[in-house]
Structure 1
């Protein structure tokens, strides 16, 4: 049983107050060693031929103010690293500019009139940097209709979109030109399509008011009255260079013309968000919930069980009507958020109760309601503005099927991530369930990087977590995204005594725990809460079905397990600078016979910079971190973390080390054998942020990105479970540590 909240915790997580030392490593440029000499001559011929062919067929190109888009492909075996970005060959002096990352390459903006200049640079390269680029570029092609379709046919794209009164619904991403005149011509073309009614706008109108609306059968008018999606996208595109709109396309011919025009970069079918209904049953006894219990916003089919209204902290104006809402699913998920442990006494669950904020936004499967991702995001943004007290949002609903392109993040996943980062809440999202349409990748919005994505697992006979749940989808997400993050019981009993299975039901268990973690910390952030929950999970390696495991092993994430000590802190890291926390003490409980002996884990969560285009190379920043121990003068081998992210070939580092994923977790058991020889009394933690694809933001140096926040959680564990490791570490750190938990000071025993 979990101890009552007013009872003092024995071992609260410690907040490290120590500042790091900084060092600025020297950067690597393109020199003679960057040239792949055996390929240089051949690639000069290949690229010259391809450039010449593009120029000779220039009348077939889609151009805007004389500019077109071309696709650069790199040699995947040795040329994908950011240091090999071909920005010296495809530079403005050759009439080119890189604008967006693509799978295995780049999208460039090229002045058709200056292609002869590019051809001359390829045939007569000046300088090592241009030669290096030529030797590492595999091909140069048009960004044509086939490229915009991402390998699909027009028929496949058309048939995958939902029908609407006037055609079918799509999300259109405008072509990403940097040149002002080219952007103006793109906007003129889009407006022309709208005037000819080849592309029709959708309209959103979202304005919420504070207060409850239990009797509301119709959602209130939800922004400013009747915004045209096309007008809004054009405004965003004019201001930022990135614009997307949900549009209605009346017929297949209109879709063909839009694709052929080159005014679009990416076209996605709109996909409804749905749930699997759990069944019916009698209402349970009314729960008794503390009025100070933390709040979870439940984005679902609403709460319709009157016995649970006392647990409702707020009820937002509904997005879907009561007739349209998936009431059974909303009731079930709400009951699990409020007190899932009470329904499932035969499961190993912490006895945590929550209040909920009802956000009725998910229709049942047969509801006759048009779905517009942009309208839903506008609605959720208003909810976040009005109810900031809900720091955790439970979203047990998904869109049907994974994204059509495995390298692209869904519109909904991308938008929820941006909203959560801006508003400061933590989304907890179900990974989705296996279906005929998808059995291999998370269903959106489970590709939301800011979220904790939850998978399912079975229960062992003793009520502890077991193997994966075959009903729930596995990872990874787009571009290798490490999803799910966590997993928990997916076969549960819920409101009405119904027993059902799905990732929808595992998700509330994590939401409740995350809300209490927020509520318990002195200075919580979404990423710090995420890091603490992952740190509490049992797996040392990420599993595509289980994630990092289950975040409850008998102790709560804001407490230290017996025989261990956990340090947690946040830091702002400037890209390109190495940071060292030099004086982390080695507690005597981590030493046996003069050697390091025990276990340790390091979990770090970066708030990453992401591509505004939602495609390949989605993460534009990454974190490298490790924990080292001293073995001699200036000798610091790594205790945690391989430190190979920057030395392995890029393709290997991406596949084996998940180099560009924002969650870094390193675990090690060094209690095997006789331990590790060491010298010196301290450990040293290293961290550094790296950048890539700066051009897509209009930047030329990584310093323009600014500092990026990282949440660190470091746990040291005694091999034989000595509880004194906590006191030893706290005593050694002295004034450089304080309790991370509210209303809980560090109590250190004086016994040695």
Structure 2
């Protein structure tokens, strides 16, 4: 039997029973939605704003302007979206979300009508909308630059021939003639030399019929990024532009043209930088039991690890510029981190690796973001069939005062991961002189498992590592999800500290979880790792803790617990119920529910291509519920308050729009109940649907959700496998092993 094979006594169970959907009746606008105490004031203010726009309009395109609609804090929920004023009445569309409202596309000829409507409109939807809008202003240079000065944005970008490199999101006009006007404006600025095209974007090419070994990284000469972006923009209002600006004044001129929505400086992609013991023996490759981790780093130059290399991609950075030390260390930890660190409680797992040499040791040799994204997409496209977990122990540096928006690198990594069905494991980043308070891209990637650092407390993970950066991420993202030992020995023999190393050992666990599960998905693997972590409440430095809590692997149920996993496609506008989760006798003591429960659900969300405010257009709400003695429904895990609390409170207290819902609760004193069943309920909600050509929830495509549910008896030693057997016996044919080549054996 291969050395890597480990029998699984109680494998995680796959729940085969489907949910019961229940439709939800929508609520219309009534007099109760009108804030009468401020209606008169807002009528006067908003009418004056439209009058000012009419008299001194900002830069327009094809007779249309973009205006920022700022809502009151109590009116940020999607139910207060001001479409009665901007869409239904005058066919003036909302085109983008802002952090405190919306961006609206307004024809100049409609300003008089809007002025009259807000001042004198009597319909309840108009009065409710006017009372909810705090202010209306032109979308200005401060908005485009994220409250940074043009000089600050200019200095933050990497240098290139003729200036500095930037990414711009073009003005998201819905009207085709307005986009055509913007396109002409951009080409004029290009011809005037105000903005210059970014040439030589890299790609991986292969001659037809050639082998993978003959793949080459090539530059695309004169790629003319401006011309290409203009061509795409004519068809797609949510288009990005890569360009070179000759000076800070060029940025001001570009913004003043009204052609852009957001500008971001492009920065280099760089690596984020114990007891002594003999170096471990190198493992022997075993393709059957050693999954592959793709390592995007400084390459692997240690010959002793060459047998563990499953594939090598063409190098993006030259050998002399590659961050060899970092690449070697991360690779050795992904292969067998426990062997390098026998003094710590790390699982004894071995992986093979794929090597993509893409990270330089110095800034001047580092690839730029556009080059790197193109390279990463090509490598993942080539190897996603056999490599499902990708370790990205590098970061794009940011400044502490940069706006907390979804990064281009995080968004593009999300698109790659979702398209190819892979799981990126990303380091949160390390503190430096410019930033000590927020994570670094691509740790803000929605589809990634972001990893922070923890110090060792003896052999176990302890408190947060002060070298590693904290979360959260943009738009309420609860990052990092996990954290693990950040001070580790690796190739080279000395101990070093950084989130890179915590990410490397987490990658190995994720790869083996993929390998063991029968029907794995990236979100299901993430859900299992989070669901078995050692914290009930999220912490901005260590997330929900460390995986392999209690030394159990994520695909196995330790004594005293049972875990069920499943995936489902859910339509917005329905409640879904899994009604028949049995209450095992091991969870009942003195007639009360007692023990611990954990429910993790991960949504594959619809997101905004603008990557700015309101990045997530869909959200998930879930709970594990029971029946109270009076017959009403109560929540064992999950408060369900997100749906009723004020929007700002729900975002701050319950991370309302975060696509990961993790609810864990211990019940030490017991909870009175009646009946024999628990149920899981779930619902998908939408917002800002105008960005996606959708009017209401019924038009949103079904959303895939991955679930993991764990029930734990209060005393694992007393329960043993009892709770596992009880649940498996009661569900019968509705569960099966979720693990490869394992049949569920139930003790009678």
TM-score > 0.5 by shorter chain: yes
Partner of 1:684: 679
- TM-score when normalising by structure 1: 0.95
Change (3 A) 1:102 1:747: same
- What's the CA shift string for 1:318-350, capped at 9, x where partnerless? 111112211111111000000111100001000
| In structure 2, C-alpha distance between the alignment counterparts of 1:4 and 1:590, rounded to whole Å | 37
The CA distance in 2 between the partners of 1:325 and 1:205, in whole Å, is 17
Shift of 1:286: 3.2
Q: Deviations over 1:509-562 (max 9, x none)?
A: 110000000000000000000000001101111000000100112100001121
Moved more, 284-293 or 132-141: 284-293
2:400–2:437: 8 Å Cα contact kept in structure 1?
A: no
Give 1:209-248 correspondences, 5 Å limit: 209=206, 220-221=217-218, 226-248=222-244
SS of 2:619's equivalent in the other structure is strand
Q: Please give the secondary structure, in 2, of the residue aligned with 1:206.
A: strand
Matches of 1:403 and 1:80 in 2, distance apart? Answer: 27
State the aligned residue count: 735
The answer to whether the 8 A contact 1:534-1:548 is kept is yes
Q: Decide whether the 8 Å contact of 2:273 with 2:430 is kept in 1.
A: no
Of 358-367 and 230-239, deviating more is 230-239
After TM superposition, the structure 1 = structure 2 runs for residues 463-542 of structure 1, keeping only pairs within 5 Å, are 463-542=459-538
The equivalences for 1:211-290 within 5 A come to 220-221=217-218, 226-276=222-272, 285-290=281-286
Query: How does 1:51-130 map onto structure 2 within 5 Å?
Result: 51-58=50-57, 61-76=58-73, 78-91=74-87, 93-94=89-90, 96-130=92-126
Aligned match of 2:19:
20
Partner of 1:400: 397
**1:669-715 deviation line (CA, Å, top 9, x unaligned):** 1122xx11211111111000000000111211122221001111110
Deviations 1:176-232 (A, max 9, x none): 000000001111111111122211111224124475769x9xx6315x765322233
What is the rounded CA distance, in whole Å, between the counterparts of 2:255 and 2:530 in structure 1?
Answer: 43
**In structure 2, do the counterparts of structure 1 residues 584 and 5 end up closer, same or farther at CA, with 3 Å as the change threshold?**
farther
Secondary structure of 2:234's counterpart equals helix
Could you tell me whether the CA contact under 8 Å between 1:402 and 1:444 is conserved in 2?
no
Residue 587 of structure 2 is matched in structure 1 by: 590
Is the deviation greater in 84-93 or in 437-446?
84-93
Distance change (3 Å), C-alpha of 1:258 and 1:669: same
| TM-aligned CA distance change 1:211 to 1:325, over 3 Å | farther
Assess if the C-alpha contact under 8 Å between 1:284 and 1:496 holds in 2: no
Q: CA RMSD in A?
A: 1.9
1:39 matched to 2:34? The reply is no
| Partner residue in 1 for 2:738 | 740
| 8 A Cα contact 1:407 1:616, kept in partner | no
Contact 2:729 2:746 in 1 (8 A): yes
1:731 is aligned to 729
Distance in 2 of aligned mates of 1:386 and 1:201 = 29
Unaligned runs of 5+ in 1: none
SS at match of 1:45: helix
SS of equivalent to 2:643: coil
Q: Greater shift after overlay, 170-179 or 236-245? A: 236-245
Whether contact under 8 Å (2:49, 2:136) holds in the other structure is yes
1:700 alignment partner in structure 2: 695
Distance 1:574 1:405, change over 3 A: farther
Which whole-Å CA distance do the structure 2 matches of 1:5 and 1:567 have between them?
A: 25
Does structure 1 conserve the Cα–Cα contact (< 8 Å) formed by 2:587 and 2:595?
yes
Deviation at 1:590, TM superposition (A): 0.6
Q: Does the CA-based 8 Å contact 2:400-2:434 persist in structure 1?
A: no
Q: Pick one of 614, 636, 641 that aligns with 1:639.
A: 636
**Corresponding residue for 1:8?**
7
Write the distance in 2 (CA, Å) between the matches of 1:272 and 1:626: 42
Question: What is aligned with 2:610?
Answer: 613
Does the CA-based 8 Å contact 1:148-1:265 persist in structure 2?
yes
Match 2:706 to one of 708, 711, 716? 711
Cα 1:327/1:208, change in 2 over 3 Å: farther
TM-score (normalised: structure 2): 0.96
Conservation of the 8 A alpha-carbon contact between 1:426 and 1:526? yes
Give, in whole Å, the separation in 2 of the partners of 1:66 and 1:160: 35
**CA displacement 1:710-750 (0-9 Å, x = unmatched):** 11111001112102000000000001000000001101011
Provide Cα deviations, 1:365-391, integer angstroms capped at 9, x if missing partner: 24435x332222121111112112110
1:343 aligns with 2:349: no
Following superposition, the deviation at residue 271 of structure 1 comes to 0.8
Q: Compute the displacement of 1:164 (Å).
A: 1.3
Specify the alignment match of 2:362 in structure 1: 365
Residue 720 of structure 1 corresponds to 715
Q: Distance in 2 between matches of 1:365 and 1:95?
A: 53
State how far apart, in whole Å, the 2-side matches of 1:557 and 1:529 are: 9
Q: Secondary structure at the match of 1:221?
A: strand
| CA–CA distance in structure 2, aligned partners of residues 175 and 471 of structure 1 | 39
- Structure 1 CA distance for aligned equivalents of residues 125 and 30 of structure 2: 6
Offset of residue 634 of structure 1? 5.0
Paired position in structure 1 for 2:317 = 320
Distance 1:4 1:640, change over 3 A: farther
Change (3 A) 1:259 1:39: same
Q: Name which of structure 1's ranges 449-458 and 588-597 shifts more when overlaid on structure 2.
A: 588-597
Specify the SS of the correspondent of 2:633: coil
Structure-2 separation of matches of 1:401 and 1:200: 24
Partners of 1:248 and 1:551 lie apart in 2 by 44
Alignment partners' CA distance in 1, 2:205 and 2:325: 25
2: CA distance, partners of 1:306 / 1:595: 60
Structure 1, 157-166 or 550-559: larger mean CA deviation = 157-166
Whole-Å separation in 2 of the counterparts to 1:652 and 1:702: 24
CA offsets 1:289-324 (integer angstroms, 9 cap, x no match): 322310010000001111101000000011111122
Q: Which residue of 1 aligns with 2:304?
A: 307
Give the Cα–Cα distance (whole angstroms) in 2 for the partners of residues 537 and 690 of structure 1: 27
Q: Which runs of 4+ in 1 moved over 6 A?
A: 281-284
The 1-side partners of 2:600 and 2:335 are apart by 29
